[in-house]
Homo-oligomer: A and B are copies of this chain.
Amino acid sequence: MKSISLSDAVTIVGGVLSGPVKERSDHLITGINTLADATVSEISFLSNKRYKGELETTSAVAVLLPVGQAAPENMGAIHVKDPYLAFAKLQRFFHPRVKAEGQRHASAVIDATAQLATDVDVGPNAVIGAGATIGSGTIIAAGCVIGENTQIGSACTLNANSVVAHDCILGDGVILQPGAIIGADGFGFAWAGDKYLKIPQAGRVVLEDDVEIGANATVDRGAIGDTVIERGVKLDNLVQIAHNVRVGAYTVMAGQAGVSGSAKIGKGCQVGGQSGIAGHLVIGDGVKLAGKSGVLSDLASGGTYAGSPAMPHRMWLKVSAVMMKLPEMLKKQQK
């Protein structure tokens, strides 16, 4: 088990240590844990007020607190600007990314024309198609299927049974959780009087650097032109991105959200779980959507919305409150 001194931990998070433990800054730290579960060799953190009560009873040797929040008496505290970010930094220290070592399992099927950097790992029964290229340090886990001519950057992690269809582009540091499907055909059909004609989906998917796609999430290839997920976007499990969508840099979408075809989502947006965005819409930068939002019209940058059809979040709060009084309002009116 990895361990560091308390003072080294304080350095990693860039914080200020206080409390009696300050005298023992060489105390060994083996990890970070919740307030309820932390032991005396672990640091904890408070990032959600719901758990404030647990400050009094935690066994953690020190707790990451926001600057300005006083610690209970005699408690060890590390004051930082952002306790959640500090938690992330310590968690990353104790659980660094597994490194690729150039292991190719004998059962993997790697086309002779695929070009893999020497230190790429390829797991059991993975399949890599003709003409694919894979950059340094990338891990292709068991059961993954990489289509023909797909380009994958360096330091990516494709977890078990994920799929990237032919001719797609993944930047550096991309992570696919298990079962994610990149580059399936978009949903395009034209009615021909007595049946649907399938419209071949000839575009690609481009996932820029540092994109992460959740388990069993799906990002469809473009019909013509590409579906683009810009740098640093994070999509949670079971998210659906239709063909020719563009998702702006550093936007995050929670589980089971869906975006219909050709919609353009801005940068730095936060899309709540089970939200839906209709096709061809333009959503500005920094837009926040509460869970289960249903967006049917363009949204300007910076707003916060909720409901279906989506409305400003403040209005939705009021409307929701009044909705429960509707039966009473009707009665009153009928008097």
A residues near B, CB below 8 A? 31-34, 37, 48, 50, 82, 84-85, 87-89, 91-92, 94-97, 105, 107, 109, 123-125, 127, 141-143, 145, 147, 159-161, 163, 165, 175, 177-179, 181, 184-185, 187-192, 195-200, 202, 210, 212, 214-218, 220, 223-225, 232, 234, 236-238, 240, 242, 250, 252, 254-256, 258, 260, 273-274, 276, 278, 280, 291-292, 294, 308-309, 311, 315, 318-327, 329-330, 332-333
Contact B330–A322 (Cβ < 8 Å)? yes
> Roughly how many angstroms separate A218 CA and B218 CA in the complex, as a whole number?
13
Q: Which of B91, B161, B237 makes the CB contact (< 8 A) with A143? A: B161
Further contacts, 6 of them, CB under 8 A, given A88-B199, A319-B326, A323-B323: A91-B202, A109-B142, A184-B237, A236-B242, A256-B258, A276-B292
Contact B127–A124 (Cβ < 8 Å)? yes
Nearest CB in chain B to that of A162: its residue: B161
Nearest CB in chain B to that of A318: its residue: B327
Cβ of A230 to closest chain B Cβ, rounded Å = 12
Contact B197–A92 (Cβ < 8 Å)? yes
Among A145, A189, A280, find the residue whose CB has the most chain B CB atoms closer than 10 A.
Answer: A145
Contact A323–B326 (Cβ < 8 Å)? yes
Copies of this protein in the assembly total: 3
Contact B145–A127 (Cβ < 8 Å)? no
Contact A199–B125 (Cβ < 8 Å)? no
> Roughly how many angstroms separate A332 CA and B84 CA in the complex, as a whole number?
45
| Given the contacts A142-B145, A212-B198, A178 and B189 also touching, CB distance less than 8 Å | no
Cβ of A175 to closest chain B Cβ, rounded Å = 7
Contact B107–A179 (Cβ < 8 Å)? no
> Roughly how many angstroms separate A195 CA and B308 CA in the complex, as a whole number?
30
Contact B333–A329 (Cβ < 8 Å)? yes
Q: What residues of chain B lie closer than 8 Å to A291, measured between beta carbons?
A: 260, 276, 278, 294
> Roughly how many angstroms separate A255 CA and B218 CA in the complex, as a whole number?
10
Q: What residues of chain B lie closer than 8 Å to A225, measured between beta carbons?
A: 33-34, 37
> Roughly how many angstroms separate A36 CA and B320 CA in the complex, as a whole number?
42
Nearest CB in chain B to that of A160: its residue: B145
> Roughly how many angstroms separate A180 CA and B190 CA in the complex, as a whole number?
22
> Roughly how many angstroms separate A225 CA and B297 CA in the complex, as a whole number?
41
